[in-house]
A and B are shown apart, each in its own frame.
Chain A
Amino acid sequence: MTKQHANWSPYDNNGGSCVAIAGADYCVIAADTRMSTGYNILTREYSKISKLSIVHSALQMHDKCVMASSGFQADVKALQKNLSARHLIYQHQHNKQMSCPAMAQLLSNTLYYKRFFPYYSFNVLGGLDNEGKGCVFTYDAVGSYERVGYSSQGSGSTLIMPFLDNQLKSPSPLLLPAQDAVTPLSESEAVDLVKTVFASATERDIYTGDKLEIVILNASGIRREYLELRKD
């Protein structure tokens, strides 16, 4: 039989966009719920946001850390399972939740561990740090990361990031003494901004759309919001 097939690849790109914005006392993490392969939509209801902790429904645990991931879904799922398991062990050993900066380091190490067969996943990690201040960590697929005030990853990031830069004008990381990276927005302004950037990205990025899932973390706990996006 003559060869008439494309060479097999262990990777795929399932698309999707993620955004996180940190404020003085809150953090907003958002991602769309479309999952695609090539020009196909596989499903319109796939959550890209992972809580990274086993939630016991009886005692409402206080979540400090949320990760939004796009890229190759199977790798993302493996990464989430790995982190959840590591977090469960941490809880048993230390009898507390992992802090967001600790989880940020763990995520970096976990990604770099597979440096030569990487997890094809593009993550933003958002949460509250030990002082209750909003924090956002942004990554590449092999684990280099940075704490920032806001970030975007995934297929729509090229459209979203410059828009956020324009609206939020974060202080240069070169300034001395180091300036606070959190955005000056109020929580509701940040949520509105997230809705706007996703509505805009959905117009031009075919891999972003269907529905927007927004997670808001603040001192009073965790909250979820949804917004319908264009389905074409």
Chain B
Amino acid sequence: MRLLTELLGTPTEADLGVKGTTYQSQLPELRLKEKKSRSSLLLSIQETSSIMGSVAESQRTLYPYVTGSSVVAIKYKDGILMAADMGGSYGSTLRYKSIERLKPIGKHSLLGASGEISDFQEILRYLDELILYDNMWDDGNSLGPKEVHNYLTRVMYNRRNKFNPLWNSLVLGGVKNGQKYLGMVNMIGINFEDNHVATGLGNHLARPILRDEWNENLTFEEGVKLLEKCMRVLLYRDRSAVNKIQISKITEEGATVYPPFSLKTYWEFSAFRNPAAGAAGSW
């Protein structure tokens, strides 16, 4: 069968650009995406339908390019506290050192992201539009953290259904009408709420600490101290973590992203000074 586009004549580049999925980049290797699907499911679609062919041959993220590391977030007395470092890794290369991964969304929400940075920036564009269009009603209503989180779960799940995931784990926190909210979504749409959450290696290294030490009535100072403890463990043991960290809070009054800071570290333990001491080798 012939492609629909062949029957209807060649479309202009502007026509193609309207739908992201049908657009064939002039620089196909610019991003790590693949033209042909590896999935047998998509292959069968490719074989059976030439109209669907344009979808199956489109480009999609098969693995991330520049990634951000863990995000850790907790509820505290007055709202939500979130922490993330500012590193952006290109594989194992530390490519960027000043990437903001905590962003306020609307009036009541705060978003933290790990994973593909470009996909995160795309999500920020989606959210900007969402908040803008909601504002245009001019009815005094505004989207709360619960609504924004639900929106994100649907976007992430929808993209996984198209076999074209947004390669992120997202943390969404916020306060509206005295209700604290803290939730997570990942790239295949798994989502939940909890009193404390952490993405990536944070789920292994930070959450056990949070389960031991978190309680509902933490003050701001105690919360920041707890997050710093988590970020310090991550800094020591997560190779892609960097010592430039942002902490952010959101309360009924709104969101504040504090300026970046560094954690005090101590590397003078004998095991750090001579890491090969315990390992008998030939040199």
Contact = CB atoms under 8 A, between A and B. Distances in A.
A45 B161 contact: no
A5 B161 contact: no
A3 B62 CA distance: 11
Interface of A, secondary structure class, is loop
Interface string A4-36: 110111111010000000000000000000010
B70 interface: no
Nearest to A42: B192
A160 to B, nearest CB: 24
A12 B190 contact: yes
A66 B160 CA distance: 28
Nearest to B204: A40
Contacts of B184: 42
A74 B63 contact: no
Contacts of A7: 38
Interface residues of B, number: 22
Contacts of A74: 153, 157, 160, 188-191
Given A14-B190, A74-B191, A8 B161 contact: no
B188 A11 contact: yes
A10 B37 CA distance: 14
A96 to B, nearest CB: 29
Interface in A51-108: 72-74, 77-78
Interface in B147-206: 153, 157, 160-161, 163, 165, 184, 188-194, 203-204
Contacts, number: 54
B41 interface: yes
A209 to B, nearest CB: 14
A43 B186 CA distance: 14
Contact of B191 (A5, A10, A37, A77): A77
Nearest to A74: B189
A45 B194 contact: yes
Contacts of A12: 188, 190
Contacts of A145: none
Contacts of A37: 190
A163 interface: no
B41 A117 contact: yes
B31 to A, nearest CB: 12
Interface of A: 1, 3-5, 7-12, 14, 35, 37, 40, 42-43, 45-46, 72-74, 77-78, 116-117
5 A-B pairs with least C-beta separation: A74-B189, A43-B192, A43-B194, A73-B190, A5-B63
6 contacts: A3-B63, A7-B38, A42-B184, A42-B203, A72-B190, A78-B157
